[in-house]
Structure 1
């Protein structure tokens, strides 16, 4: 027998052994979960708690965590994906916050975004007057508040929705939105830095006000722990999956490096095929890949997903949010109270604008983080890291012309958009869609179910949204399995409830 044939046969036998062991240990409906990120692990726990315990999780990468991912850079673990617990300090408790702050006690720091107004640098160096920046910021927030008030007057169905930029035109009388370097970077800070896309495409009604801040509070806490933010996923999974001595998921029901390429489904069950030639049969499948993956051709559905489902998938946006890490031989930027964030006001909107110092989180690390999004992210992903390093250092030298700014010694550029297993950072709610399309996005197709932060009705794009979406999608499956209740899609422009067809 050829070695390649032997290896393939061993893989098939191993997969069959996993399946038979699981079936023997956990009788009942068999469910395959595609993806071991927050939503997939959360959905698995919910199914487990409901008595659906014959589970198999297939993960395309070599790790559990999805878009929550620590990376060792310059001797410290930094978060290249999700980093903040957004929504802290309100009357309701963000479900992620107790795990971070109490259960796991992950090191975290409140982000002082209010101090940004005192740290806005002109394109050719020097700070803008703080009082003047505050005036421009207050004006931008005043316009935003008017937009939030307008939202309350709109039909709940979303049929009156407009873009954030349309709102800015309405209340600030700027046909193209903010145009000066200062106003553009403040606009970027308020909107793009949050939603990963510019105001011209982002829905007003579904982002102003942001449900996360309204429900959970205005504070944002930055997680900076060597165990990684992803440790909360391992904690959720530890409730039904085996873990190692470090608390990391190490269960034979979680198969890594299993790239799902095809899902065949009918009224009797599903067959999931992976890139290595393995096949797995189940009664149901829960697809927890990113929206970007669903919009790509990575996974083939047989038969093709119905038109209403496909259109819903393509109507939403997958934003690109890139955190670029730079290490220097020495610190040359200001530090101390109110100096955590600093901003570069370029004539080119979104060009290396949002900077963050790690001096408080990692003293002496001499690491800076600069964030870019959208078109700048895609441009940077296509060029070399050396070119990106040169551009970023040139910006710093423009900001600090009277300071000796050395060359960076290292750089790390995550490439979420180029990675076929993600195709972006997180979803954004564009103008023109409403909760009808969201119902369609999370609605099952036969025995194929869907979850992910993009299916969260109120908190898409956030870690807590991913966690709650896993629960919601699992409940949809549980209702079908145990109560024979089909998921209902609400009518688009009225309160009637209509089944998706």
Structure 2
């Protein structure tokens, strides 16, 4: 059953309202999931992991990982085409023709599709012949919405310029409209990252300036300071609305009741010609992570190489 059904069945009474609210906030905020869709069993298994590794982020950002992988493939003679938006894939066993919106086409024996699952759910890429079972499987994987707020300030105002100062702040969880914020510690750059996930992010249909105002009002509430102070301190800002990004159509995946079967389908190549990978089709304990995407991509690449070797031998 879904987590929403589970809570309604077993924790429906008023004495459990605080518990339901806590679960809802965490699942929507952290998993970017909809309680009416997310699998209760999947959430239970995720939260039961005893050996969950410490959360880490690379100093200097994930761009270094992209640069490292790019250097490796260039050394192997790979050609990289940027700003080439794939719109259609025509295929037959052992041959694909990939068409882009700028009118170019590329031929190959096999194709590995690594787009976010939201792109497949919105059918931004079409196939001839059609592969309806695979596109239906993609739609049976949950894919949450997230809006990320990046606000750089002149100073770490939250330490000394507010009524409720906070020192050595890592994560701040609140009941504000934009509830979750974190700093760059141990880096002392005065940058706050705000996070709004799940249905709340999907329902926020405003422009960037309006979302900035909402973020400043949330910080004003959290730290008990004026919005004017925050505007005076604000140096740069950027808001990433992943649900409205045409190359993502969302943030990261979560498991619905149908997801195990959907992942099984997507991890099965189409006639040893079309392969899928990405964090959404990864089957393991680290759903929705960079690690999941890397593992899935590596497994798909191994399948392709094995199939290619068999083709050569035959």
Q: Deviations over 1:174-219 (max 9, x none)?
A: 2699645x963x33553223311133321122232228945x5242
Residue 375 of structure 1 corresponds to 199
Q: Normalised by the size of structure 1, how large is the TM-score?
A: 0.54
1:190/1:277 CA distance change after superposition, 3 Å = same
1: distance between equivalents of 2:15 and 2:63?
A: 37
CA separation in 2, counterparts of 1:273 and 1:212? 44
1:46-445 alignment to 2 at 5 Å?
A: 162-171=1-10, 173-174=11-12, 179-180=17-18, 184=21, 186-188=22-24, 190-210=26-46, 213-214=49-50, 217-223=52-58, 225-226=59-60, 228-242=61-75, 253-305=79-131, 307-333=132-158, 334-337=165-168, 339-346=169-176, 351-358=177-184, 360-363=185-188, 365-380=189-204, 382-401=205-224, 406-408=229-231, 409=234, 410-430=236-256, 432-445=257-270
Q: Which residue of 1 aligns with 2:303?
A: 476
**SS state at 1:417 partner:** helix
CA contact (8 A) 1:396 1:405 kept: no
| Residue in 1 that maps onto 2:162 | none
Instruction: Name the Cα RMSD after superposition.
Output: 2.9
Deviation at 1:237, TM superposition (A): 4.5
Corresponding residue pairs, total: 300
Give the conservation status (yes or no) of the 8 Å contact 1:169–1:176. no
CA distance in 1, matches of 2:270, 2:282: 18
The answer to whether the 8 A contact 2:38-2:142 is kept is: no
Q: State the SS of the aligned residue for 2:302.
A: helix
Unaligned runs of at least 5 residues, structure 1 = 1-161, 244-250, 485-501
Displacement of 1:444 after TM fit? 1.8
Matched position secondary structure for 1:422: coil
Q: Indicate how the Cα distance of structure 1 residues 257 and 198 shifts in structure 2: closer, same or farther if over 3 A, else same.
A: same
Query: Partner of 2:55: helix, strand, or coil?
Result: strand
Change (3 A) 1:175 1:266: farther
Alpha carbons of 1:434 and 1:392: their partners in 2 closer, same or farther (altered >3 Å)?
closer
How far apart are the structure 1 equivalents of 2:309 and 2:44? 38
CA contact under 8 A between 2:29 and 2:198: conserved in structure 1?
A: no
- What 5-or-longer segments of structure 2 have no aligned partner? 159-164
- Partner in structure 2 of residue 28 of structure 1: none
Deviations 1:386-413 (A, max 9, x none): 2112222222222333678613333211
What is the rounded CA distance, in whole Å, between the counterparts of 1:219 and 1:403 in structure 2? 35
Mapped partners of 1:231, 1:177: distance in 2: 49
Give the distance between the partners of 1:191 and 1:218, measured in 2 at CA. Answer: 19
Q: Which has the higher helix share?
A: 2
* Partner Cα separation in structure 2 for residue 297 and residue 198 of structure 1: 21
TM-score w.r.t. the length of structure 2 is 0.83
